[in-house]
Structure 1
Amino acid sequence: MTVFTTKSGAVAGAVSTYAPGVAVLRGIPYAAPPFGADRFRAPRPAAAWGGTRNCTAFGPVAPQSAQLPGAPAWSPGDEDVLSLNIWTPGNDGDALPVLVWIHGGAYAFGSSAQPDFDGAVLAAHGLVVVTLNYRLGFEGFGHVPPAAGTEPCPDNRGLLDQIAALAWVRDNIAAFGGDPGLVTVAGQSSGATSVACLMAMDGARGLFRRAIAHSPVNACASPASAARTTAEVAAEAGVPATYAGLVSASPKALVDASDRVADGYRRDPASGARHYDPAIYGPVAGGTALPLDPLTAFASGAGREADLLVCHTAEEFWLLDETGSCAKVTEESRLAVFAADLHIQDAVLDAYRRLAPEASVHETYLALYGDLQFAEYSCRLAEVHAGGGGRTRLSRFVRRHDGRGRPVRAWHCADIPFAFGTVDDENVHFLIGGPPGAADRELSSRMARAWAEFAATGDPGWPPLDAAGSPVRIWDTVSSDVPSGRWDAFRAPWRASGLPLITP
């Protein structure tokens, strides 16, 4: 056992089975259980403990209905959900760069225990790697109306949990060999948008120096849309949409009610934008903690002090189609309705038809939606951050695999096992198309090395964006860089027509 001393007490971990020189500690509480009197409140400090705490197992996951391959499921009654995990090759007195990972999952599912996110390989590159759980779904992102005589329940509790974890890292990571002044916060999908939100939040200022955002999702709720979601979820749970009503509903009741609300949108083609991808939660932009959505905030220069590395995949939405997570659109009439529901201008739709005349209606829909929700939004975040004075790198993951008789596309989430170096874990083979070959392992090594170099120095190996259109790194089994102004013809219609912002 390997023992480290935090400000709350001593913790003991084990040696990683994947990297013999790396110690791994799991399930360290960074805040108190957010239930009972603390439910719907900002996170509270974790209680100290005596003796040495055994930290060899992941902590409980946040309330959710998902059951993901290789990861634990949530069990009603689990309350100590605000925990983090550490992989470190260092000891107290070292000063290694730190990478803090925020998982994705539509703000409603996922955990730090997913096999994709094992930090051993990255730690072997000289990083201290931290992954964390935070509140999800209604517990983390549902709007709770204020009640007279009670402490206000802030919006964006999941983001506040992430800030609490970063504060814990600042205060404790030196004991694990990490440099609290050299922290990179990273995430994918909703985790990446969380990263962008943290860059725009005063409450997170000074807690990290760099940021990595893979496939940030174009989705921030407004106060009005968050209040509407609360009303819908409360009605499904059979309670009033008040603090007293909501706190009377169990976490499971709110998870189940949220699933029914989402399923209602999924089944109703006339329900507007939520029908196509019924993710009903997202950061609430417009309040005290997060006054502006990230894209708008970056345009005003927010977050420019943090170096930013952005990546997206070439065929984002094909994963959601493969897993049945989005609506099918196979007819021209439905494609036109989709474009209208998402405020996509006719010129953009016409350009996609013209640029890919061989594509089916469904393929055009997936390309449009993937670019609107992920790819073009990623590029905009990178460019706006650079335009606001930040140092920004942009990259695109294009690797495909044909090992199952049909191509596994460069879809959402496929890049993350490569960056973490977890491509050999069988739980991720669905994402990457089966066991990796030598070229895949070499690509993974390059991506992990880029993350490590960026966390350590701010330079992942290619130049930052500038007004002239600096190179964009293309991640494939053959490495290449292309000028940002020419690498994707499908960006031109969005530039001409504007990018609608999605409000869940």
Structure 2
Amino acid sequence: MTEVSTTQGALRGTATDHGWKFLGVPYAAPPVGELRFRPPAAPATWEGVRVADSFGPIAPQNPSMMDAITGAEPETPGEDCLYLNVWTPNTEGSRPVMVWIHGGGFQIGSGSSPIYDGEAFARDGVVLVSLNYRLGELGFMELGAIDPDYAGSGNNGLRDQICALEWVRDNIAVFGGDPGNVTVFGESAGSMSVSLLLASDAATGLFRRAICESGGVNAASTAEAAETLAAQYLAESGADDVAGLLALPVEDLMAVQSKVLMERFADVEATIEAGGDPLTFLPFRPVTDGGLVPLDPLAAIASGSAPGVDVLVGYNADEWKLFALMDASPIDDETLVRRLDMVSGNGAALADAYRTMGGDAPAKDLLNNAFTDLLFRRPAAKLLHAQTSHGATYAYRFSWQSPSMGGMLGAAHAMELPFVFDLAHMPGIEVLVGPDAPQVLADSVHGAWVAFATEGTPSLPGGPQWERWTHDAYNAIDLDEHCRPILDAHDTVDAAWEA
């Protein structure tokens, strides 16, 4: 065992094969009672030594499809959920730090999930921090129109993340980490969060580098949509005001969330059409409130909201295939045009552009390509474009095709995660990547992430040179068993999207 002294008190960690881990460390006060729907408050101090040998509760959430797929044991939820975890090779020294923000559509997930075990990062000389943040209505429901005293509550989940980054700044040195060399990284909702942190003045100076895996600033909801959601939620809850929501047990809040989501899933096309955006299926998400999150986050980044921050931004080649599993609707050419028209107003031209690229591919595959571009590839390019004048910008495309589910997943959303954490052979994960996932790919992806956090360049072990992405050259690395440079430009379909 080893002990460290934080600003809150002493912690005792436990040994791992490659160093030490400190689990279930509170970084903010429990957001319960009157603190529900409030910004995170300062954590309590303690006397003596706190044993940090078990994870804290995860944010309240409804059961997830991913748990069912992987067979993972359910974690214990609770409103007292603002905890983080640290893996370190040694509490001495000053090593690069990586702070992981998990995904899950702002509704599910945790930093303590087994698929985010930080041991491989500690093995390779990095201090890895993972964290929980409030999800769903507890972290991302804007109540300001119902009660002005709660204005800004729609971004409390982001405030939790910033609070954790401040804790890292103030404490990570005693774990052997360098507070001046912090890389924040995340996937899906975590990537969307990281993108919005780049735009937020409140996060300035808290990290030196950022990695965005499959998610950009397009995730943010407008204030109008957020207010509509809050009104719908309040009506479903039976409460009259915020005081009524505060009085409800958290289990009741989760039940109301399920009702709201089911209403949006009841008619796929009606939901897309109403919102003009497939992300209407993720109603609880950060809000462009003009406070913590600028009204135009992309413009804020382009104007220099994250000066000197280097970024690595990318997406998976078949992102939408994961979400397509939840849509049993038959997709023919007519449906393809109709759905593309809903999100662009230019459906026929877009369908023609994707048909030109895809040849004889089924309409469902063309729709998957289009929604992958809409929600992931194009936002990644826009984020790179906005930041390239303010820091080094690197890009990737993850294209390894999983054989799982008869090849239905391909390079779907989240497929890169087992390789990022070098856990592609972890029991249970084979349902996603198959039994023979290539270790050479894990070596490349994990190694590149570590190199970026350590040196500022995502170099590949024994691989090709990773050139910077620029306005004039959309340089990227295609991450597959044989990593190779590509020019990730899509002029034909992008012209149709922008028409």
- TM-score of the superposed pair, with normalisation by structure 2: 0.91
2:249 aligns with 250
1:61 aligns with 58
In structure 2, do the counterparts of structure 1 residues 363 and 207 end up closer, same or farther at CA, with 3 Å as the change threshold? same
Cα distance in structure 2, aligned partners of 1:55 and 1:124: 20
Does the CA-based 8 Å contact 2:101-2:186 persist in structure 1?
yes
Displacement of 1:147 in angstroms is 7.2
Does the CA-based 8 Å contact 1:103-1:112 persist in structure 2?
yes
Give the aligned length. Answer: 482
3-state SS of 1:426 partner: coil
Displacement of 1:352 in angstroms is 0.7
Higher helix proportion (structure 1 or 2): 2
Task: Specify every segment of 5 or more residues in structure 2 that has no aligned partner in the other structure, as ranges.
Answer: 460-465
In structure 2, do the counterparts of structure 1 residues 185 and 339 end up closer, same or farther at CA, with 3 Å as the change threshold? same
Deviation string for 1:394-414 (max 9, x for gaps)?
001010133664454011000
Cα distance in structure 1, aligned partners of 2:81 and 2:190: 17
3-state SS of 2:344 partner: coil
Give the alignment of 1:333-372 within 5 angstroms.
Answer: 333-346=334-347, 347-372=349-374
Residue 65 of structure 1 aligns with an amino acid whose one-letter code is N
- TM-score of the superposed pair, with normalisation by structure 1: 0.90
For 1:380, which of 379, 382, 389 is the aligned residue? Answer: 382
1:279 aligns with 282
Cα distance in structure 1, aligned partners of 2:150 and 2:272: 35
In structure 2, do the counterparts of structure 1 residues 175 and 266 end up closer, same or farther at CA, with 3 Å as the change threshold? same
3-state SS of 1:155 partner: helix
Q: Does 1:31 align with 2:28?
A: yes
Give the alignment of 1:283-298 within 5 angstroms.
Answer: 283-298=286-301
Deviation string for 1:152-194 (max 9, x for gaps)?
5533000000000000000000000000010000000110010
Deviates more, 1:159-168 or 1:297-306: 297-306
2:475 aligns with 471
Give the alignment of 1:389-400 within 5 angstroms.
Answer: 389-400=390-401
In structure 2, do the counterparts of structure 1 residues 44 and 247 end up closer, same or farther at CA, with 3 Å as the change threshold? same
Give the alignment of 1:210-289 within 5 angstroms.
Answer: 210-217=209-216, 218-240=218-240, 242-268=241-267, 269-273=269-273, 278-289=281-292
3-state SS of 2:436 partner: coil
2:135 aligns with 136
Deviates more, 1:452-461 or 1:468-477: 468-477
Deviates more, 1:455-464 or 1:195-204: 455-464
Deviation string for 1:341-396 (max 9, x for gaps)?
2125232222012211312222222211121111221122122221x433110001
Deviates more, 1:263-272 or 1:154-163: 263-272
Deviation string for 1:245-269 (max 9, x for gaps)?
3323332222221221111121124
Cα distance in structure 2, aligned partners of 1:220 and 1:404: 32
3-state SS of 1:427 partner: coil
2:442 aligns with 444
Cα distance in structure 1, aligned partners of 2:183 and 2:497: 34
Residue 264 of structure 1 aligns with an amino acid whose one-letter code is E
1:502 aligns with none
Does the CA-based 8 Å contact 1:72-1:113 persist in structure 2?
no
Does the CA-based 8 Å contact 2:309-2:390 persist in structure 1?
no
Displacement of 1:477 in angstroms is 0.5
Deviates more, 1:343-352 or 1:94-103: 343-352
Does the CA-based 8 Å contact 2:353-2:496 persist in structure 1?
no
3-state SS of 1:47 partner: coil
Displacement of 1:314 in angstroms is 0.3
Does the CA-based 8 Å contact 1:104-1:192 persist in structure 2?
yes
Does the CA-based 8 Å contact 2:340-2:350 persist in structure 1?
no
For 1:50, which of 43, 47, 52 is the aligned residue? Answer: 47
In structure 2, do the counterparts of structure 1 residues 164 and 360 end up closer, same or farther at CA, with 3 Å as the change threshold? same
In structure 2, do the counterparts of structure 1 residues 345 and 329 end up closer, same or farther at CA, with 3 Å as the change threshold? farther
1:80 aligns with 80
Residue 70 of structure 1 aligns with an amino acid whose one-letter code is A
Does the CA-based 8 Å contact 1:328-1:362 persist in structure 2?
no
In structure 2, do the counterparts of structure 1 residues 470 and 248 end up closer, same or farther at CA, with 3 Å as the change threshold? same
Cα distance in structure 1, aligned partners of 2:103 and 2:254: 17
3-state SS of 1:342 partner: helix
